[in-house]
Amino acid sequence: MASIAKFKALRPIRDKVHLVATRPYYSYKKNVLKAKLESNPFTFLHIINPEFGHPTKTKPNSEERFSLVKEGYKRFKDQGILIEDEEAHLYLYKQTSINHSCIGVIAGASVQEYLDKKIKIHEATLTSREALFEKYLDIVGYNAEPVLLSYKGNESLENYLRKIQSERPEYEFTTTDNIKHELWIVENEASKDLQNYFKSIDEVYIADGHHRSASSAGLYQAKGNLHTNSKNFLAYFVEENQLNIIAFNRLVKTLNDISPEVFIEKLESLGELTMLKRGSAPDTNHTIHFCIDKQWYRLRLNTNLIDENHPVKSLDADLLTELILKPILNIKDLKTSDAVDFLPGTFNAQEFEKEMKKNNFHLGFMLYPVNIHQIKAVADAGLYMPPKSTWVEPKLRSGLTIYNLK
């Protein structure tokens, strides 16, 4: 049974929603972030970048910095940019791009269900990041970016969601990345119906937001009596077939003191190696495309190297690490190594190669994306995928529906 909780969202006033809601600040290049902060006084970026334009600076991730974020949040509320719903609701949110569309429910997800492993994870979290996010939530007192949760739906639930969509949304706007956003406020009776429909959902999986979930659970366990709403965390529930799961590719700075010719020879023992006329992403599982010295290759891994019965060892990201990165390039830990970087599959092969050249990477690997069944198999087995194995869309906007923790 999946529990979805109503909450009183803090959200932008209707005429400013397109100006307030934003992608996470870390997704912007510095010059673009600066331009947005200079040109838009209403963007949520001002709350999470409270020192922009001020000569006095605090240390990043310090209590002083987080207190300024809290003050910026209060200022937006005092100025009427953010308003709080008088009653608790569920919220239906739809995101539509040129190639992809999804719709789901924004609600409170149960921390207890997360702790009881009814909300399943597939990614290990770093204790230091958990503690940092927990301190952040404790000080600022709100969730602004939902955790993305997936579930296997049923026809009755999906039909009911379509029924709600037939009404005019509270918000309807398009952002400069050509994505259309629609939000419906689900009224009381419909919210109760949705909650009942979700009771038939047996399993929920985290698609994106493992650290946010873990830090919310940590806050609840440490200070639940002080943060009265911390028994839930802000989440976006989406039917699993609506997720767009994209590969996360690898960029490597060094060949570990071997020549490109020797590197190629070593890879020939791993499978069928073919030169490509031009760069492209792989179109089948267990096929890796890579670029070295401006030349692209296809490597089809030998089947005897793949343990198809193991949820993790059968993943291309793990095979790349265990067969190439560790033994040949001496990259032992992807979480800590400064010899490797990651680029989402939203960059095509030509853009990927430009990033290689611009940042002086010697080698680049493009992988075939995993599917939802592979992700669920890892989570069901209580295992973890390699770091940066997936780039999952939709990527949600910060500041669209804010969940107060106090």
What's the CATH number where 368 sits?
A: 3.30.1760.10
Residue 277 lies inside a defined structural domain of this protein? yes
Burial 87-116 (b: 16+ CB within 10 A, else e): eebbbbbbbbeeeeebbbbbbbbbbeebee
The pTM for the full model equals 0.93
Burial 354-381 (b: 16+ CB within 10 A, else e): eebeeeebbbbbbbbbbebebbbbbbee
Residue 26 lies inside a defined structural domain of this protein? no
pLDDT surpassing 90 at residue 304: yes
Q: In the prediction, which pLDDT does 403 show? A: 97
- For residue range 100-137, what is the model confidence (pLDDT) as tens digits? 899 999 999 999 999 999 999 999 887 888 999 999 99
Residue 78 lies inside a defined structural domain of this protein? no
pLDDT surpassing 90 at residue 337: no
Q: Give the Å distances, CA to CA, from 392 to 48, 116, 148, 281, 351.
A: 23, 24, 9, 17, 19
Q: In the prediction, which pLDDT does 321 show? A: 96
In terms of residue numbers, what domain contains 386?
A: 246-390
Q: In the prediction, which pLDDT does 126 show? A: 78
pLDDT surpassing 90 at residue 52: no
Domain count, the chain: 1
Tell me the pLDDT of the chain averaged across its residues: 94
| Across 29-33, 45-49, 260-264, 370-374, least confident range | 29-33
Q: Which residue has the tokens 């999470």?
A: 48
pLDDT surpassing 90 at residue 231: yes
Residue 290 lies inside a defined structural domain of this protein? yes
Residue 397 lies inside a defined structural domain of this protein? no
- For residue range 242-294, what is the model confidence (pLDDT) as tens digits? 999 999 999 999 899 999 999 999 999 999 999 999 999 999 999 999 999 89
The answer to whether 375 touches 390, Cβ cutoff 8 Å, is yes
Residue 344 lies inside a defined structural domain of this protein? yes
Cα separation, 67 vs 151, in Å, equals: 36
Residue 161 lies inside a defined structural domain of this protein? no
Of 262, 255, 301, 298, the residue nearest 279 (C-alpha): 298
Residue 377 lies inside a defined structural domain of this protein? yes
Percent of the chain exceeding pLDDT 90 equals 83
Q: In the prediction, which pLDDT does 23 show? A: 87
- For residue range 179-202, what is the model confidence (pLDDT) as tens digits? 999 999 999 899 999 999 999 998
